[in-house]
Amino acid sequence: MTDSTTIRLATEADLEALTDLFHAIFHHYWEQERPSRAEIGRHIIQDILPSGCEILIAERARRAVGVASFAVLYPGPGLGGQLTMKDLFVIAEERGGGVGKDLLSHLAKIGVARGCLRLDWTAESSNPEALAYYDRLGAARVAEKVYYRLDGDALRRWARD
84 Rama class: left (phi>0) / alpha (psi -120 to 50) / beta: beta
Q: Residue 10 corresponds to which amino acid?
A: A
Distance CA 110, CA 71 (A): 10
| pLDDT surpassing 70 at residue 59 | yes
Alpha helices by DSSP H, listed for 30-115, are: 37-43, 99-113
Average per-residue pLDDT in the chain?
91
How far apart CA 23 and CA 114 sit, in angstroms, is: 30
Question: What local confidence, expressed as pLDDT, does residue 79 receive?
Answer: 84
- pLDDT tens per residue across span 121-152: 999 999 999 999 999 999 999 999 988 999 99
Q: How far is CA 111 from each of CA 19, 71, 100, 107, rounded to the nearest angstrom?
A: 26, 10, 16, 6
Give the model confidence (pLDDT) of 1-47 as tens digits: 555 899 999 999 999 999 999 999 988 887 767 788 899 998 999 88
Share above pLDDT 90 across residues of the chain, in percent, rounded to a whole number: 71
CA distances from 57 to 29, 72, 76, 105, 109 (A): 19, 17, 25, 13, 15
Q: Do the Cβ atoms of 83 and 107 come closer than 8 Å?
A: yes
pTM (2 decimals)? 0.89
Residues 6+ apart with CB under 8 A from 89: 21, 24, 25, 28, 66, 67, 68
pLDDT interval class at 110 (50, 70, 90): very high
pLDDT range class, residue 49, cuts 50, 70, 90:
confident
Q: What would the CATH number be for the domain defined by 5-124?
A: 3.40.630.30
Q: Averaged over 82-98, what is the pLDDT?
A: 95
